[in-house]
Amino acid sequence: MIDTKILDDLARRLAKTLPTGLQVLQDDVRHNLRAGLEAGLAHLDLVTREEFDVQAAVLARTREKLEALEKQVAEMEQQKSQ
């Protein structure tokens, strides 16, 4: 999930862009914008940076193991053909 501070900051910035007459409603608008942003982002299939980094590390280890296995298979095939 995205950091709530980021959502609050984004909602506050969007609320500040309202015309002067509507800035009286700024708190309500900011609250509604934040709720809308949360709802919209909830529909996206996002992962946190930590989850991404963990999966990248797992992928790197898997690649290393695959390369080692490919090397072993190549050596075994070479020994068999001799």
pTM assigned to the model? 0.50
Query: Would you say 66 and 58 are in contact if contact means Cβ atoms under 8 Å apart?
Result: no
What is the distance of C-alpha 18 from the center of its chain? Answer: 30
31-69 tens-digit pLDDT: 888 888 888 877 887 888 899 999 999 999 999 999 999
pLDDT(30) > 80:
no
The pLDDT of residue 2 is 65
pLDDT at 77: 92
Give the residue extent of every domain in the chain: 1-46, 48-82
